[in-house]
C-alpha cells in the first residue's frame, strides 16, 4: 500500500474516531445531567459556562496556545463572531438542560434529528448554496413531520426547534470563522463572553431556590464540577474530527446522538410516546433516510468523477 494511501486512511480513521467519540458523548449527556439532580437547569448552565472556561484556560496553558489566542483577540471582527457564537451555544445549552431536566429528552432528540436538514436550509438561504433535488425532498418531509406533531400531538415542539435553530446557526458561524480560530481558543472566548450571564444566573438561583454546589455531598459536588470537562471534551473532539473527514461522513455519523437520546428518553426514562408522536418521528426518520441516501449518492458520484484523475 503506498504511504500516501496509508496516511490518508489513518487520517480518516482518526477523524471517524474523534467525531464518533463526540457524538457518543453528546448522546449520553442526558443521563449525566440527570445525575446532577436536584440542581436545576439554570444553575447547571451557569457552572457549565464557568467551568468550561476554567478547563479551556488550563488547556491553553498545557498546549501552549496563548500565542494563537493573542492573535485572535487583536482582531475585533473575530471577537464579535465568537461573542455571537457564545450567545447561540448558551441558548442551545440552556434549552437542552431545560428539556433534559423536565422530562423532554425525546423532544431534544427530535431537534438533533432535524439539525442536518436545518444546516442545509441555512446553506441555501444564508450562503446561497444550491442543493440537490433529494435534499429538497428531505426538507419537505421534515416540514410535514413538524406540522403533524403540532396538529395531532397538539404540542408545539419549541425545545426541538430552538435546539436545531441555535446549533444550526452556531455551526454556520463556526464555518464562517473557519481556521482563523482554533477549537480551544474559540470555546475559551465563547465561555468568556457568557460570564456575566452565568454570574447573574447564580445570583438569581442563590436568592430563590438556593445554590446546590457543595450542599448535597462530595459526590454530587464532584459530578457538578465535572460539567466543564463534559462540555468541552465533545466540542474539542468534534473539531478534531471535522478537520480530518468530509461533511458527508460527518452527516451520517451525527445521527448517533439523537438516536441515543431518543432511546434514553423513550426506553430508559419512559417518556410518553403516543401514536401521534410516533407518527411525527417516523416521518422525520423518512426524511433522514432520504437525506442519507442523497449523501451516499453524492459521495459515489464524487468517487466516480475523481477516478480518471487517479489513473
For the chain, count helices (H), then strands (E).
Answer: 14, 0
Q: How confident is the model at residue 4 (pLDDT cuts 50, 70, 90)?
A: low
Burial class (CB in 10 A: 0-12, 13-18, 19+), 73: middle
pLDDT score for 13: 83
The total number of structural domains that make up the chain: 1
Residue 82: partners with Cβ closer than 8 Å, 6 or more residues away: 72, 177, 181, 186, 189, 190, 193
Q: How confident is the model at residue 9 (pLDDT cuts 50, 70, 90)?
A: confident
Q: How confident is the model at residue 1 (pLDDT cuts 50, 70, 90)?
A: very low
**Average pLDDT score over residue span 116-142:** 82
The whole domain housing 278 covers 3-310
Question: 20 and 259 in contact (C-beta within 8 Å)?
Answer: no
Q: How confident is the model at residue 74 (pLDDT cuts 50, 70, 90)?
A: very high
pTM of the prediction?
Answer: 0.86
Distance CA 163, CA 108 (A): 7
Amino acid at each position: 500500500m503506498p504511504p500516501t494511501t496509508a496516511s490518508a486512511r489513518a487520517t480518516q480513521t482518526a477523524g471517524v474516531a474523534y467525531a464518533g467519540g463526540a457524538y457518543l458523548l453528546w448522546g449520553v449527556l442526558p443521563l449525566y445531567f440527570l445525575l446532577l439532580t436536584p440542581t436545576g437547569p439554570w444553575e447547571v448552565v451557569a457552572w457549565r459556562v464557568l467551568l468550561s472556561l476554567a478547563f479551556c484556560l488550563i488547556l491553553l496553558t498545557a498546549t501552549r496556545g496563548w500565542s494563537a489566542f493573542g492573535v485572535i483577540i487583536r482582531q475585533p471582527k473575530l471577537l464579535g463572531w465568537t461573542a455571537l457564537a457564545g450567545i447561540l451555544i448558551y441558548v442551545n445549552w440552556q434549552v437542552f438542560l431545560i428539556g433534559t431536566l423536565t422530562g423532554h429528552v425525546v423532544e431534544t432528540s427530535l431537534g438533533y434529528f432535524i439539525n442536518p436538514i436545518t444546516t442545509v436550509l441555512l446553506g441555501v438561504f444564508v450562503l446561497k448554496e444550491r442543493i440537490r433535488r433529494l435534499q429538497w425532498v428531505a426538507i419537505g418531509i421534515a416540514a410535514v413531520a413538524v406540522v403533524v406533531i403540532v396538529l395531532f400531538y397538539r404540542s408545539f415542539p419549541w425545545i426541538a426547534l430552538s435546539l436545531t435553530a441555535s446549533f444550526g446557526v452556531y455551526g454556520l458561524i463556526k464555518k464562517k470563522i473557519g481556521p482563523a480560530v482554533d477549537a480551544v481558543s474559540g470555546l475559551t472566548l465563547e465561555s468568556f463572553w457568557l460570564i456575566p450571564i452565568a454570574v447573574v444566573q447564580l445570583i438569581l438561583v442563590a436568592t430563590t431556590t438556593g445554590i446546590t454546589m457543595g450542599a448535597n455531598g462530595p459526590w454530587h459536588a464532584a459530578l457538578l464540577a465535572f460539567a466543564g470537562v463534559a462540555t468541552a471534551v465533545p466540542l474539542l473532539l468534534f473539531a478534531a474530527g471535522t478537520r480530518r473527514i468530509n461533511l458527508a461522513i460527518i452527516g451520517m455519523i451525527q445521527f448517533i446522538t439523537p438516536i441515543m437520546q431518543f432511546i434514553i428518553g423513550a426506553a430508559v426514562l419512559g417518556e410518553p410516546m403516543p401514536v401521534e408522536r410516533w407518527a411525527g418521528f417516523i416521518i422525520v426518520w423518512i426524511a433522514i433516510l432520504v437525506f442519507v441516501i442523497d449523501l451516499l449518492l453524492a459521495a459515489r458520484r464524487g468517487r466516480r468523477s475523481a477516478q480518471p484523475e487517479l489513473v
